[in-house]
Structure 1
Amino acid sequence: MTNKNVDDYLTEGMYGVRLPKDEERKKFLGTLRERIVLALNKGQIMSDSGLRALEEEMKSHPDASLLINGHVSHRFLKEEKELAKKYNIPYTTITDEENDTDIGAVLTYDYAIDKENIFMEEKTAADSDDKKEESSSLLSKLKKWF
């Protein structure tokens, strides 16, 4: 047990007890990375690009809960809340006025699961195929000129 001095007691009284991994909790809407199934950033929430991945993870993890960033407008969260109701997953809106994060929603447990890849991949195979077609068509147009 450590010996606390007066400054420690005053700091705890003014700001509360320090939590382990406090920066991680601020980033992931109050939870730890080791508990997260899927984390979506604000852009993925607003564009609904993460909706399919969120639904798949909700099917696979029916005991998880959804944490939603309260700084994202409610009109962008309609589909996510409907999915949570559809799969009986409780959701909570977290509004932290002191800290800002780019995370829009987190599907999480109350205990550690240590999933390695918690973020949705931005690029898909269709995106890379489209880029190949664009580059090949541009190249073919240049070849026709010469």
Structure 2
Amino acid sequence: MSKENMDNYLEEGMYGAKQTKPSERKRYLGTLRERILLALKKSQVMQQKGLEELAAEMETNPDARLLLNGKISSRFFKEYKKLARQHNIHYTAVTNKQAETDIGLILTSKTAVDRKTIFIEKEEETPASTAGDDSSKGLGSRLKKWLGLSER
């Protein structure tokens, strides 16, 4: 056995098999970007967004798997798990304590699908502010109003 083969053999024995694209796998809950059918960010999961889109993808891709971010409380995944059970989709909670990610949930395929857009980008609804509503103003504006000072 050559020295290079021996070094590779020892490294693999000590640290495990080498992975392709480790930074991508850390971000996407252990899978590759090219396999993702649909991804939701943490904030979207906590607000129960994307259920309709997820249901449509599950119907179209019955062999898909659902990956849930294990750092998010399981109470936020109740509806997503229910949806997965209805469509007979396996789901797994993934917790990687060494990696930080903004991803909350991923529907992934076993093979590459290489979609251009994997995220749901819905416009956030902002409540219309009324003329007498000071909630959109900063603390300084409200303090000046309370003290009777005019704004310039």
**TM-score band (shorter)?**
0.7 to 0.9
Q: Look up the equivalent residue of 1:105 and give its one-letter code.
A: L
* Cα RMSD, aligned residues only: 2.4
8 A contact 1:39–1:120 mirrored in 2? yes
| Residue matched to 2:94 | 94
| TM-score normalised to structure 2 length | 0.74
| Residue matched to 2:104 | 104
Q: Look up the equivalent residue of 2:47 and give its one-letter code.
A: S
1:35 Cα deviation from its structure 2 partner: 0.6
Alignment map for 1:124-143 (pairs within 5 Å):
127=125
More helix by share: 1
| Residue matched to 1:119 | 119
CA distance in 1, matches of 2:18, 2:44: 32
Deviations 1:35-71 (A, max 9, x none): 1100111111110012222122112222211011111
1:76 Cα deviation from its structure 2 partner: 0.4
1:83 equivalenced with 2:83 (yes/no): yes
1:117 Cα deviation from its structure 2 partner: 0.6
Alignment map for 1:14-29 (pairs within 5 Å):
14-29=14-29
1:16 Cα deviation from its structure 2 partner: 1.7
Deviations 1:66-115 (A, max 9, x none): 01111110110100000000111111111112212111111011110111
1:3 Cα deviation from its structure 2 partner: 6.3
Unaligned ranges ≥5, structure 2? 132-152
CA distance in 1, matches of 2:9, 2:91: 35
CA distance in 2, matches of 1:41, 1:89: 20
CA distance in 2, matches of 1:20, 1:109: 17
CA distance in 2, matches of 1:106, 1:57: 11
CA distance in 1, matches of 2:123, 2:3: 52
8 A contact 1:50–1:120 mirrored in 2? yes
| Residue matched to 2:36 | 36
Unaligned ranges ≥5, structure 1? 139-146
CA distance in 1, matches of 2:87, 2:54: 11
| TM-score normalised to structure 1 length | 0.77
Q: Which of 1 and 2 has greater Rg? A: 2
CA distance in 2, matches of 1:112, 1:3: 35
